[in-house]
């Protein structure tokens, strides 16, 4: 079987309150990945700013922007210059009072290939996303690009096997998760390790269960809680790529800014699915209860 190698860049970095500086750092990461041969570059969740969802503050809606808009123009020009596909993550202002956490896929010619609005929205201490984001309404639909059909999801979506399965059933050749996740500094080390390992295991399991590679890109660094109600978040990095059997292909640092490039053999999914035909053996005639919140 002919090998089809796709080089993917993962840009993992820390953020500050200076949006312009964050953009400069992100741009440099993209250029570094392209210089290493990447034709697809994935950015972390909400990379323009600090992770603002630690507190509920209406003034922070000023960070939102339209799509298309300033950021998509900027990354569109960069994608066209470097002849690459870029996956960016933006705070979308759809209308006054209507906002989304949205991933945008920029094609090599600088146009918008498609977007995905985050479907699962958390509401936990330090992650008050329901205050800011309306749940997505675009469904679980892969985005067609020159480098393949991309199943783009966002952060909290990565804990839901249903989302990964629906993307795979619609023909996604890669599952991609821009992410912003970290530790509560008050948790002890053992608890922190359990949380990080569960995060990695969950996504590797999506790769296994669907026979497709997974790309997950997280941020690093400490960000304080401006409300002072918590001790902030220590983002745990660990960006990684896994193959269609869950095998680790590349794994970033826990605390360092890194731009990594990994080779994905897109032909391997075909080989793996021939051996492990999970889609063939699904018993959809007995899955009706999956459409219930809970079986009482």
The CATH number of the domain holding residue 17 is 3.60.110.10
Catalytically active residues are: 45, 118, 155
Nearest to 103 by CA among 57, 161, 41: 41
DSSP code string of 40-79: EEEEPTTTTS--GGGS--GGGGGG-B-SSSHHHHHHHHHH
Query: Does some domain include residue 175?
Result: yes
Angle between helices 161-169 and 189-210 (to 10 degrees): 20
pLDDT at 157 exceeding the cut of 80: yes
Query: Does some domain include residue 296?
Result: no
Domain span including residue 176: 5-291
pLDDT tens sequence across 170-208: 999 999 999 999 999 999 999 999 999 999 999 999 999
Q: How many domains, in total, are found in the chain?
A: 1
Alpha helices in the chain (DSSP H): 19-35, 70-82, 161-169, 189-210, 268-275
Q: Which residues contact 258 (CB under 8 A, 6 or more apart)?
A: 10, 12, 13, 237, 239, 252
Question: Using CA atoms, how far apart are residues 138 and 118, in angstroms rounded to an integer?
Answer: 9
pLDDT at 122 exceeding the cut of 90: yes
Q: Is 119 helix (H, G, I), strand (E, B) or coil?
A: coil
pLDDT at 80 exceeding the cut of 70: yes
pLDDT tens sequence across 230-259: 999 999 999 999 999 999 999 999 999 999
Query: Does some domain include residue 286?
Result: yes
Question: Using CA atoms, how far apart are residues 137 and 145, in angstroms rounded to an integer?
Answer: 21
**Mean pLDDT (the chain, rounded):** 96
User: What pLDDT score does 280 carry?
Assistant: 95
Chain centroid to CA 7: 17
Nearest to 32 by CA among 53, 11, 50: 11
pLDDT at 1 exceeding the cut of 80: no
User: What pLDDT score does 3 carry?
Assistant: 55
CB-based contact 143:196 (threshold 8 Å): no
Query: Does some domain include residue 259?
Result: yes
pTM over 0.85: yes
pLDDT at 16 exceeding the cut of 60: yes
């Amino acid at each position: 079987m002919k090998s089809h190698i796709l080089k993917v860049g993962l840009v993992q970095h820390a953020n500050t309150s200076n949006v312009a500086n964050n953009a400069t750092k992100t741009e440099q990461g993209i250029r570094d990945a392209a210089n290493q041969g990447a034709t697809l570059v994935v950015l972390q969740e909400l990379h323009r700013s600090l992770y603002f969802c630690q507190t509920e503050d209406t003034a922070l809606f000023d960070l939102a922007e339209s799509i298309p808009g300033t950021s998509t123009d900027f990354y569109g020009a960069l994608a066209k210059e470097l002849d690459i596909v870029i996956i960016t993550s933006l705070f979308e202002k759809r209308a006054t009072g209507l906002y989304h956490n949205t991933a945008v896929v920029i094609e090599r010619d600088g146009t918008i290939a498609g977007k995905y609005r985050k479907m699962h929205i958390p509401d936990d201490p330090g992650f008050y996303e329901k205050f800011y984001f309306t749940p997505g309404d675009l469904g679980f639909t892969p985005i067609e690009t020159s480098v393949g059909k991309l199943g783009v999801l966002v952060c909290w979506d990565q804990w839901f096997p249903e989302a990964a399965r629906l993307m795979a059933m619609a023909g996604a050749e890669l599952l991609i998760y821009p992410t912003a996740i970290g530790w509560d500094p008050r948790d002890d080390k053992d608890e922190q390790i359990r949380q990080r390992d569960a995060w990695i295991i969950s996504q590797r399991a999506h790769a296994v269960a669907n026979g497709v590679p997974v790309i997950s890109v997280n941020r690093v660094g400490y960000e304080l809680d401006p409300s002072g109600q918590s001790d902030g978040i220590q983002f745990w990095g660990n960006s990684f790529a896994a193959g269609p059997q869950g095998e680790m292909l590349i794994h970033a640092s826990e605390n360092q800014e890194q731009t990594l490039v990994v080779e994905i053999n897109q032909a391997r999914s075909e080989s793996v699915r021939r051996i492990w035909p999970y889609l063939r053996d699904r018993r959809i005639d007995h899955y009706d209860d999956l459409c219930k919140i809970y079986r009482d």
